[in-house]
Structure 1
């Protein structure tokens, strides 16, 4: 019950549809030999058709395997297919490099063809990327070695964090379950969970440290070979983002860190702490809005709250609940956290979450449904235009969160309930601003250190504490930090996706800025918003923002977004001071 259905992908590995696509995937290497790569429209169109068909087939198979494994990391059949799939895709790497280099070097005017002209942005990207491609044989070797390199290390991290268990008061918990207790109303429960969580990481920290070191070393090596100045330089190109935009974002965040520390110290005082907020109380609920939701109630709640903004969004939410597109409940072998996987080749998406019935879980659902809504917009594009970059990936998800929270805050006059809602908002915002800054700092320093040494677990723990103090400052109790966040956050464990941290800050503040525009100019906003989302796959970050007349290279835009949170921090202080005075 409350598990997703994947039948729209494949009924199973023994289904005729899966067998047919598997055979088709293995046929692509032979099909490639039939292509004649000459700089003319006919050959270009044939190459594009090949890439489209390979993309659709590979994504369908790969999605089925990864989605199956995400809810059962010990599934042997899926694990075997994942290994075989990686091998087949590695074998195709050389062919894909040849195709990309060909398409990135053509001189034929593709705008004279109505179908190819839709790929103008994609072709321009291929031209830029071609400058960083190694020769076909080298790229093929790197891809093959990745199966026993970074990908294998990443799989080890996923396996260890999804299978480690602990006993608390006679009950066995997975890591996801123990982390959910950080939101419990009982401080003793939260502290016990925090201590148990750290003990769980202690069991697996050494092999995970080897995973992290080797993944980052591989990134440094390949990034340098391809001519990038640094992994961050490579990430910015992948993100379709200018360095000036990132610098403006980080400058604004640094400027407002003291405001968030003010909130954390006030929360600490309210909860009876004198040396800043201990990490185990970072997610402590406050006020009286600690309502619990069943899965069904969460669906009704979200549909009702999204309906005033957009019927299309509300209908999409209803569809996800009606058609079992969500895997809700934590269980042994299921990976932690939450994600949305867009499946544009079947016009759908899937959401995995570890739902515990709290308001926070409902907000997480709203977030992931934003990704699904984004996916429903971009699936109208042609296959090679389906991918959006990391920063804009968090736009619709965070906008959804903002819609829910602002609607809740605008419809209550009760101070105790307001406190609960403002605290929830500030808690989540602190994660995408302050904690993300700590993660960005940690990964930056980690890459610098990896240039010439191996970092054992103790060194990684020290670096994480340094990063947390740099970001949280005196807002956190230095005696109760979380030195194992480098184990917890799976975003560090991808060789193809470094610095998956600043996009959350970008998405959160960008969405906040868009919401301000919505409040000021609601007429026609949804149509403009949908157009902006559609542009995310065929434009740079900067050009996409211009659809709403926003300049993301300007620090002032980010400052205006951050200013809205200062008002909430002021309200938080006012309400908590009043409540403490009556104790």
Structure 2
């Protein structure tokens, strides 16, 4: 293990991906990739369902090679752009490489279509059986193909989507992104974007929080006719195409099958979330006390609970070492994976003009250590963000022996290691900090758990109801009534919910862009909490099982993978373990007040 005494803020080194995009060597990289894709096209005439398993695997290996080469070149362009979005050179390269990626994908697409639609069941089973770690990947492609139509029909749907559902989503974005919000701050009236205005919902002053929400909701209410009509048509399109034409069982089944999870698993997850709403209701009662309020209003749920306590700042060096230490207490293997990101200078951490906001982890190929971007300012939130993104990097490296086609975990499992790393960090530092610091950290943490678990699951419960209502014919006001009832069920008597929140559903872009996406947040976070509870019970005996789960990447269906480790995600009992952890944290916060 290499030890660095001081970690300093800085930028990453991308030379492993490409030395210089203007150099002949880079052009040679592109040319080589294009030639390989052209050569691959010649396979088309030789495709035969009766081909030997060896020949079939040779073709898949070529797909892997092309994917890895494209990922390196495309990754260099997107990471360069993220580190300086104002650079004309980086922007131009990004555009060129996106075009190249699209061209390469189109050249190799025929093999994917052939596998999904031209291979008979008997030969498909034979080829899947001999495909090793790619078996589940190939089987899932065939499962999705069951809902595919003929090529001419698919072409018609793709063509009509451009002026249909895709156009509706663009229209929603165009209308809502053009909204200008005017809000009085002190004696001045400021014109703001929604992004700027959203900062005020976390303000320390109750009146400002209320005004910020009313300003946002008021704008959507003024435009409810048009944004509501767009939503109704998106939901009807989802039903007409998904259920009536393709033959999915329910609207949410389309998303579940895409995520490679069973309907029963998601039903169990949502049932447990609904049942455990009182866990967070207790937290909101606690938070009201911390804010010296009789009762929270819906305007107050994201208020900083410890505005009167000075927040501690963390140096970057200390933060990095804290994350290493937290991972190392659990497993040296995970700590080594995290250190690799720093040892190879694959992290961009400094805050600077032109750099992309937020944080992410980018895994390009199994052979290359992931790249991590954070904007570190020294707040405790930044330390947790660092742990979160390094968790993603750890997950990728645990699965580094997998094919590029199955290294990434499916969407519901994608937040497992990131959330688990945050839990390890909190567990490590909670006994090293003062009660006041712990109060801030714990309150922020439960805020986040509410936003990523309960809120997201209730969003999904609303979508199920709304899609059903819209399918039967309904009005925008009735959809709003359903949403308001959903909020009241979620908060119970712990929070006052006013009628202006009835329109909030129309402010949630996920409902428009990607119906039923939101439960993936609840799934990922609750899964990590349940695994953490297992760790607290079993100690070091749990470590090999956890690393095995990460190492599977996307090579196994989530139910099957977790069942192998004695975890039944189809049962409500499993999901309850995650809520037991939240309940413990709420009790701890109560004892600090």
The TM-score bracket by the shorter chain reads 0.7 to 0.9
Q: Find out whether 1:44 has 2:56 as its counterpart.
A: yes
Q: Corresponding residue for 2:117?
A: 101
User: Does the CA-based 8 Å contact 1:236-1:242 persist in structure 2?
Assistant: yes
Q: Corresponding residue for 2:4?
A: none
Alpha-carbon spacing, 1:375–1:122, altered in 2? closer, same or farther (3 Å): same
Alpha-carbon spacing, 1:213–1:313, altered in 2? closer, same or farther (3 Å): farther
Q: Find out whether 1:119 has 2:130 as its counterpart.
A: no
Q: Corresponding residue for 2:6?
A: none
Q: Number of aligned pairs?
A: 569
Q: Find out whether 1:474 has 2:493 as its counterpart.
A: yes
Q: Corresponding residue for 1:425?
A: 445
Q: Corresponding residue for 1:20?
A: 31
Q: Corresponding residue for 1:377?
A: 398
CA distance in 1 between partners of 2:351 and 2:421 (Å): 22
CA distance in 2 between partners of 1:232 and 1:212 (Å): 16
Deviates more, 1:255-264 or 1:462-471: 462-471
CA distance in 1 between partners of 2:69 and 2:246 (Å): 28
Unmatched tracts of structure 2, length 5 or more? 1-8
Aligned with residue 542 of structure 1, among 549, 559, 573: 559
Shift of 1:298: 3.5
Q: Summarize the alignment of residues 134-145 of structure 1 with structure 2, pairs less than 5 Å apart.
A: 134-143=149-158
Structure number, greater radius of gyration: 2
Shift of 1:39: 1.3
Corresponding residue SS for 2:498 = coil
Q: Summarize the alignment of residues 373-412 of structure 1 with structure 2, pairs less than 5 Å apart.
A: 373-412=394-433
User: Does the CA-based 8 Å contact 2:291-2:305 persist in structure 1?
Assistant: no
Q: Corresponding residue for 1:245?
A: 265
Aligned with residue 278 of structure 1, among 298, 302, 307: 298
Aligned with residue 347 of structure 2, among 285, 300, 325: 325
CA distance in 2 between partners of 1:517 and 1:474 (Å): 32
Shift of 1:308: 1.7
TM-score, length of structure 1 as denominator length? 0.80
CA distance in 2 between partners of 1:499 and 1:352 (Å): 28
User: Does the CA-based 8 Å contact 1:341-1:349 persist in structure 2?
Assistant: yes
Shift of 1:236: 1.9
Q: Summarize the alignment of residues 19-418 of structure 1 with structure 2, pairs less than 5 Å apart.
A: 19-20=30-31, 23-24=34-35, 27=38, 30-41=41-52, 42-57=54-69, 59-60=71-72, 72=85, 77=92, 78=94, 82=98, 86=102, 89=105, 93=109, 95-102=111-118, 105=121, 106=123, 109-110=126-127, 116-143=131-158, 146=161, 179=198, 216=235, 218-224=237-243, 225-286=245-306, 288=309, 290-293=311-314, 295-321=316-342, 323-326=345-348, 329=351, 334=356, 338-352=359-373, 357-412=378-433, 414-418=434-438
User: Does the CA-based 8 Å contact 1:28-1:54 persist in structure 2?
Assistant: no
Shift of 1:494: 4.3
Computed over aligned residues only, the root mean square deviation of the Cα atoms, in angstroms, reads 4.4
Alpha-carbon spacing, 1:156–1:352, altered in 2? closer, same or farther (3 Å): farther
CA distance in 2 between partners of 1:203 and 1:318 (Å): 52
Corresponding residue SS for 1:248 = helix
User: Does the CA-based 8 Å contact 1:289-1:421 persist in structure 2?
Assistant: no
User: Does the CA-based 8 Å contact 1:2-1:324 persist in structure 2?
Assistant: no
Q: Deviations over 1:221-273 (max 9, x none)?
A: 44233221223112222333222222222222222111211211221233133
Deviates more, 1:345-354 or 1:541-550: 345-354
Corresponding residue SS for 1:564 = helix
User: Does the CA-based 8 Å contact 1:283-1:427 persist in structure 2?
Assistant: no
TM-score, length of structure 2 as denominator length? 0.79
User: Does the CA-based 8 Å contact 1:249-1:506 persist in structure 2?
Assistant: yes
Corresponding residue SS for 1:340 = strand
CA distance in 2 between partners of 1:90 and 1:204 (Å): 40
Q: Corresponding residue for 1:531?
A: 548
User: Does the CA-based 8 Å contact 2:366-2:407 persist in structure 1?
Assistant: no
Corresponding residue SS for 1:133 = coil
User: Does the CA-based 8 Å contact 1:134-1:226 persist in structure 2?
Assistant: yes
Corresponding residue SS for 1:565 = helix
Shift of 1:544: 1.6
